[in-house]
Amino acid sequence: MIYDVVVIGAGPAGMAAAIAAHDEGARVLILDRNNEPGGILPQCIHAGFGARRFKQDLPGPLYAYHFLNEIRKREIELWLESFVMDISPSRRVTVLSPKGYYEIEARSIVLAMGCRERTRSQINIPGTHPAGVYTAGTVQRMINRENWMPGKRFIILGSGDIGMIMARRITIEGGEVLRVVEALPYLTGLRRNYVQCLQDFGIPLFLRHTITRIDGYERVERVEITPLDENFCPIKDKSEWVDCDTLLLSVGLIPENELSRRLGIVLDPVTGGPVVDQFSQTSVYGIFAAGNVVHIYDLVDDVSDHGELAGRFAARFAKNLALWSEPSLSIGWNFPLRSVVPQKILLSKTTEEPLSFFLRVHTPWESSVTLSLRGEDSLFFQKKLPYVRPAEMISVSLDPSLVQTWKNHPPSRLFWEITYDS
Ligand SMILES: Cc1cc2nc3c(=O)[nH]c(=O)nc-3n(C[C@H](O)[C@H](O)[C@H](O)COP(=O)(O)OP(=O)(O)OC[C@H]3O[C@@H](n4cnc5c(N)ncnc54)[C@H](O)[C@@H]3O)c2cc1C
């Protein structure tokens, strides 16, 4: 079996990539291990998806449905319950599906495997190991899809969006959320979720606090909550035990990068996802990546845009294998920036596509800053921003003719910078 483009993952990134690749004339196959398409969206039944793309406040399943409808209108093959076990650098995909075990050849591949949640073992909470400790996404699935409530009295660790959204959901379903506890001195999720999910439901948020111990024999019985000093050290004499039966962890998402690692793709140590260029091609020739597998997005609209970009260029790659490698220009950045995607610009190829960058900061700054893209002696872009927050990605679209400028006169250094205005 040979396809022009094989997309791994049928979430919003993968579905958008498949549609865009098909519309460029490619023969496309999507593979997903789940028994339904949509990725994480079918369990996100709250509104808030698609404001930019559809000018509507859609629930996750409806957002996914729009894309599925577009897939059904096209000759795109979609294999569900099909787990991709391995990919070779020559783009042979090994799949285990109900139909059997397959080796599929692809002219190009789009990785769109999404992300997974950090678990208790990754943040090392001491104590006993009773039942009742879940990631927020697991409880989202239990309540929204499987129709059962995993507890009565909840504590949530982490102020990420999924945790805050689940605090509201649990309250609506009759559970009690006693506290949301966050180690950092600021929210890690969006402010709008803090207002709509915690404040509106009277759920207390404890910043600069963490859980220092879990206690319980068969089931969680209580957790120890401790304030942290400026160096994030627990102030043990101020610890407090709080009775509860369930602990939810909302302590970060990590790109699903097992296949990327096995392929030898260069990963960004900050984002955890592949290093990509402006066409979303990874360091392995002909392997593209999009969505949360690259870095964690705030908005599903951006995930779909990224999928379309990767799908379009994967299809173009499949048609013409030339001109897709070095030379490239690495992009740097200075504190307080934490990550920048794409991390490099391929100079061998120019297109009409706007040059899109996504940036995240380390720490919030609640007054005006200036964002700049600089070479050693030149300024290529500058913009004022009213504030910057780690939870809110900065997105910037640049004129693609810049690539030609850099190709003609390669700057010795190209970097993003934020300066505080006051
Ligand atoms: C638990 C959780 C809850 C979330 N809730 C919200 C929310 O409430 N609101 C919000 O705005 N955003 C939420 N997000 C963010 C959300 O993930 C993104 O907005 C968006 O869904 C990312 O799209 P994606 O296509 O990159 O990944 P996903 O939607 O995660 O899709 C990835 C797909 O890849 C498949 N896959 C992975 N590995 C393989 C493999 N080896 N073989 C075959 N298939 C594979 C998976 O089965 C999945 O279907 C949540 C994320 C998570 C992890």
> Is any ligand 1 atom within 6 A of the Cβ of residue 329?
no
Q: Going by CA atoms, what residue is nearest to atom 51 of ligand 1?
A: 40
The answer, yes or no, to whether residue 392 has pLDDT greater than 70, is: yes
Cβ(341)–Cβ(416) below 8 Å: no
* Distance of CA 115 from the midpoint of ligand 1 (Å): 6
Mean pLDDT of 145-158: 96
> Is any ligand 1 atom within 6 A of the Cβ of residue 188?
no
> Is any ligand 1 atom within 6 A of the Cβ of residue 256?
yes
Cβ(188)–Cβ(160) below 8 Å: yes
> Is any ligand 1 atom within 6 A of the Cβ of residue 197?
no
> Is any ligand 1 atom within 6 A of the Cβ of residue 291?
yes
> Is any ligand 1 atom within 6 A of the Cβ of residue 13?
yes
pLDDT computed for residue 327 by the predictor:
77
> Is any ligand 1 atom within 6 A of the Cβ of residue 272?
no
85 compared with 413, residue with greater pLDDT: 85
Structure tokens at 207: 């910043």
Cβ(265)–Cβ(282) below 8 Å: yes
The answer, yes or no, to whether residue 323 has pLDDT greater than 70, is: no
The answer, yes or no, to whether residue 195 has pLDDT greater than 70, is: yes
Measured distance CA(263)–CA(174) in Å, rounded: 46
Measured distance CA(187)–CA(401) in Å, rounded: 38
- For the chain, the average pLDDT equals 94
> Is any ligand 1 atom within 6 A of the Cβ of residue 61?
no
* Distance of CA 292 from the midpoint of ligand 1 (Å): 7
The answer, yes or no, to whether residue 180 has pLDDT greater than 90, is: yes
Express each pLDDT in 81-136 by its tens digit. 999 999 998 999 999 999 899 999 999 999 999 999 999 989 999 999 999 999 99
* Distance of CA 49 from the midpoint of ligand 1 (Å): 14
> Is any ligand 1 atom within 6 A of the Cβ of residue 40?
yes
Nearest to 203 by CA among 173, 169, 167: 167
Helix axis angle for 12-23 and 60-73, nearest 10°, is 20
pLDDT computed for residue 322 by the predictor:
60
Q: Going by CA atoms, what residue is nearest to atom 19 of ligand 1?
A: 300
The answer, yes or no, to whether residue 350 has pLDDT greater than 80, is: no
> Is any ligand 1 atom within 6 A of the Cβ of residue 12?
yes
Nearest ligand 1 atom to alpha carbon 40 = 29
* Distance of CA 114 from the midpoint of ligand 1 (Å): 4
Measured distance CA(12)–CA(42) in Å, rounded: 11
pLDDT computed for residue 321 by the predictor:
65
- In order of their start, the domains of the chain are 1-117+253-325 (3.50.50.60), 119-251 (3.50.50.60), 326-422 (2.60.40)
Cα 136 to Cα 7, 33, 142, 247, 412: the distances in Å are 27, 21, 10, 9, 45
pLDDT computed for residue 61 by the predictor:
97
pLDDT class of 351 with cuts at 50, 70, 90: confident
> Is any ligand 1 atom within 6 A of the Cβ of residue 93?
no
Measured distance CA(252)–CA(236) in Å, rounded: 25
Mean pLDDT of 213-229: 97
Cα 298 to Cα 121, 254, 295: the distances in Å are 25, 14, 10
> Is any ligand 1 atom within 6 A of the Cβ of residue 8?
yes
* Distance of CA 231 from the midpoint of ligand 1 (Å): 33
Measured distance CA(394)–CA(105) in Å, rounded: 37
Residue 312 carries which side chain, given as an amino acid letter?
A: R
* Distance of CA 39 from the midpoint of ligand 1 (Å): 5
Q: What is the pTM of this model?
A: 0.95
Express each pLDDT in 259-273 by its tens digit. 999 999 999 999 999
> Is any ligand 1 atom within 6 A of the Cβ of residue 203?
no
> Is any ligand 1 atom within 6 A of the Cβ of residue 223?
no
| Kind and range of the H or E run holding 309 | helix 300-319
Q: Which of 96, 113, 258 to mutate to test the pocket of ligand 1 (most atoms within 8 A of CB)?
A: 113
